Structures are given as structure tokens and as C-alpha cells.
């Protein structure tokens, strides 16, 4: 196969396998990210094993104390912290409006900010990305919050992503009165040899009056419909990528075989066997497929998350940046499947092609 033939196969096969790799890996990595407990720290919740919520109930302080006492006695609990949700008021573009603030110490359970940092001392407040846009604030700006006639001046120390409470939340270390608490949220980390399911089986009866949710289940509840949709998308896109790459490489090889029939017939006439000629097609097809797959994987990992982040930001769901939790197994399986497709289709097309014969070529 001459340079022009190699260039033809290189450009077309590389492009096809690059595209196929991208449309296989991006949905799989997106699905893996939405299901990963690590993703919780990117959506306004600290990374932990279990989340426990006491929501808008009578006797909230007594229940809070009971949960705290129980967690102190459980040896399988590595550490925990409870954050109180308080409703304050701020002045925005449309006048006075409510602001839900999670108050507590964020040193042990920090949040990941897309700009700035978690609040580490009194007088600092971190705003969700949607709240920062709504109030037209950035890191370093001042924010006055009100509880009745009481006013407190705070400094915006960070902006984070959040999808809870409609995406409009804030976090700080403000002192609060017990009577002001709307809800408590416990974030619990377990010892390495103890998991969330075992915790619920063993201690769930102690917390029957509150909601105890493993973090992976919390993510499933939060993104349930989205996860279901992308699960289907991942399967469909993988099937489309396999069929597309198989069809296109079959078409390219068939066309190249016809176009280069005379060259292959001459090579056979001077001593090259059919297997040796086919081996050239297999080698070059595999090489170009590998290059396309490698480029596609890099694009899927480094540009795919920027594309998804932009889409989610435009949707206004509270996510401005998106970082994949990469499923490294998919980076082995998907390329492996595409390489097998490339090899099998190329071999089949070559083995079923018309026998290269210099005499037939001369008669033609």
C-alpha cells in the first residue's frame, strides 16, 4: 500500500475511531461520576459515608441530642459533624428575600469551592453558585444578613456548586440559637472495615425517627432520573459506536481493496503471499485505530468534562464546573472492544475479497 493509500486509511480510520471512542467513554464517565460518593463534595455536600437528616419536626433539639449521644457511643464511627440550617434574610435585586444557611465548622468536613475556599472562621460565608449569581457577588465581597432586626456583616470567602434546595444555599460558621434551627444534617464517616449497609443493619433501629441515607443512595435519590437517562444513553451510544466503527472500516477496506487491486496483484506476482498482503492492511488498520482511540480517550477525559460542565451550567441546575470521576475500567474495555472490531472487520473484508491475480488484471 503506497503513501497515498496509507494516508487515506490513516485519516479516515483515525477520525472514525476517535469519534467512536468519545461517544462511548463520555456517557460512561458521566454515569460513573453521578454514582460516585466522591461527587458529593462537588455538589455542596462533604464527602462521607452516611448522611442523616432531622427535618422540620417537633422536638428537634431532643432528637438532635439523642442522635449525637448515640453516635458518640458507636465505635465504628470514625468522625461526624452536624450542621444546622437557619433561615436568614438578605437584600437582593428584588428586595428582601430568604437565604438558607448551613451553620457549622467546615474544617473537618470541608466543601469544594469552584472559587475561593470553605468558611474556616466566623465572619466568612460561602455561597452556592446560583446564589452568587442571583446576588451578584464574588469572592471578597461583603454580604449583610438579617435575623429579625439583627444584622451581621459577612465576607464571601468561597463559591461552590450545589443542587440541593434548588441550588440556593450558603454555608458559614455563625453562632445561632437552638430555637432558630429548621433542620440538622449529620455527615458521618465510618471506619474503613465498616460500611454504610452494615451500619444501617446494626444501628438503624436507634434512628427510626430520622432519615438515614448512605451517600451513594443519596446521590441516586438526588440524580435518580438523570442516572436512569444516562444509563440508557451509555448503552445506546456504545452500541452506535461499535456499529459505526465496524461499518465505516468495512467500507474503507472494501474501497481500498478495489482501488489498490492492481498494486496488490503486482505484489502477489513478484512473490508476496495473500497473507502477507492482508497483514499490511491489518497492521495499518490496527495502527490507525490505536491512534484514533488514544486521541479519543484523551478528548473524552479532558474536554468531555468541560463540555458536560458547560451544558449543565446552561441548564441552570447549580453546577458550573464538572470533573469526571473516571471509570478506568472503561478506558480498557471500550478501546479493547473497538480494537477487536477493527481487527475482525479488516480480516473478514480481506479474506472475503477477490483473489489478487495479475492475469485477471491483464485481461481486464
Please give the residue that has the higher pLDDT: either 144 or 287.
144
Most confident stretch, 224-233, 251-260, 328-337: 328-337
What pLDDT does residue 273 have?
59
The overall average pLDDT reported for the chain is 80
Residues 6+ apart with CB under 8 A from 253: 281, 285, 345, 346, 349, 350
**Residues 317, 323, 326, 330: what is their CA dihedral angle, to the nearest 10 degrees?**
60
Average pLDDT of the segment spanning 175-181:
88
**Host H or E run for residue 226:** helix 224-259
pLDDT reading at 300 higher than 80: yes
Residue 321, burial from CB neighbour count under 10 angstroms (0-12, 13-18, 19+)? middle
Percent of the chain with pLDDT over 90: 21
pLDDT recorded at residue 357: 47
Residues 136, 138, 141, 143, Cα dihedral to 10°: 50
Q: Closest Cα to residue 275, out of 195, 174, 351, 196?
A: 351
pTM assigned to the model:
0.67
Give the β-pairing of 181-190 and 50-55: antiparallel
What are the extents of the domains in the chain? 3-40+224-363, 50-194
Q: Give pLDDT, residue 353.
A: 46
Amino acid at each position: 500500500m503506497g503513501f497515498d493509500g496509507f494516508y487515506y486509511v490513516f485519516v479516515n480510520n483515525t477520525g472514525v475511531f476517535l469519534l467512536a471512542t468519545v461517544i462511548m467513554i463520555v456517557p460512561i464517565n458521566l454515569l460513573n461520576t453521578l454514582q460516585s460518593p466522591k461527587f458529593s463534595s462537588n455538589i455542596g455536600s462533604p464527602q462521607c459515608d452516611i448522611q442523616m437528616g432531622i427535618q422540620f419536626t417537633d422536638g428537634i433539639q431532643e432528637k438532635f441530642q439523642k442522635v449525637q449521644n448515640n453516635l458518640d457511643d458507636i465505635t465504628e464511627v470514625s468522625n461526624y459533624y452536624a450542621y444546622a440550617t437557619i433561615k436568614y434574610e438578605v437584600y437582593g435585586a428584588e428586595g428582601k428575600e430568604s437565604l438558607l444557611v448551613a451553620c457549622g465548622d467546615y474544617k473537618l468536613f470541608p466543601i469544594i469551592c469552584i472559587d475561593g475556599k470553605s468558611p474556616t472562621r466566623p465572619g466568612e460565608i460561602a455561597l452556592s453558585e446560583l446564589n452568587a449569581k442571583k446576588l451578584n457577588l464574588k469572592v471578597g465581597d461583603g454580604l449583610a444578613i438579617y435575623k429579625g432586626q439583627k444584622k451581621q456583616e459577612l465576607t464571601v470567602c468561597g463559591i461552590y456548586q450545589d443542587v440541593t434546595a434548588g441550588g440556593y444555599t450558603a454555608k458559614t460558621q455563625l453562632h445561632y440559637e437552638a430555637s432558630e434551627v429548621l433542620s440538622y444534617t449529620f455527615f458521618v464517616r465510618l471506619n474503613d472495615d465498616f460500611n454504610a449497609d452494615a451500619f444501617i443493619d446494626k444501628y438503624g433501629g436507634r434512628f427510626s425517627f430520622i432519615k438515614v441515607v448512605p451517600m451513594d443512595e443519596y446521590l441516586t435519590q438526588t440524580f435518580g432520573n438523570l442516572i436512569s437517562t444516562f444509563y440508557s444513553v451509555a448503552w445506546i451510544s456504545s452500541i452506535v459506536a461499535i456499529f459505526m466503527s465496524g461499518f465505516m472500516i468495512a467500507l474503507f477496506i472494501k474501497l481500498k481493496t478495489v482501488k489498490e487491486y492492481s498494486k496488490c496483484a503486482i505484489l502477489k506476482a513478484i512473490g508476496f503471499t495473500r497473507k502477507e498482503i492482508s497483514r499490511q492492511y491489518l497492521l495499518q488498520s490496527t495502527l490507525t485505530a490505536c491512534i484514533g482511540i488514544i486521541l479519543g480517550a484523551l478528548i473524552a477525559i479532558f474536554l468531555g468534562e468541560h463540555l458536560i460542565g458547560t451544558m449543565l451550567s446552561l441548564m441552570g441546575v447549580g453546577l458550573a464546573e464538572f470533573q469526571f470521576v473516571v471509570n478506568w475500567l472503561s478506558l480498557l474495555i471500550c478501546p479493547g472492544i473497538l480494537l477487536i472490531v477493527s481487527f475482525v472487520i479488516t480480516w473478514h473484508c480481506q479474506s472475503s475479497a477477490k483473489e489478487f491475480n495479475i492475469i485477471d488484471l491483464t485481461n481486464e
